[in-house]
Amino acid sequence: MDIFVCNYKNMRNSERLIWGILLTTIVFLISTFVGARLNLNIAFFNASFGTDMLMLILSIGLIYGLKKYVRYRIALPRFSKILKSATNFLELKTKPCK
| pTM metric for this prediction | 0.59
At 51 the pLDDT is 85
- Distance, CA of 37 to CA of 79 (rounded, Å): 43
Structural domain includes residue 40: yes
Structural domain includes residue 1: no
- Triad 47, 50, 53: Cα angle to 5°: 130
At 26 the pLDDT is 93
Structural domain includes residue 3: no
Structural domain includes residue 84: yes
CA 60 to chain centroid: 8
pLDDT in tens, the chain (98 residues): 444 544 556 667 788 788 889 998 999 999 888 887 877 777 787 878 888 888 999 999 988 888 777 777 777 777 777 777 777 766 665 656 65
Structural domain includes residue 2: no
- Residue 47: give the domain boundaries: 8-94
Structural domain total, the chain? 1
Structural domain includes residue 50: yes
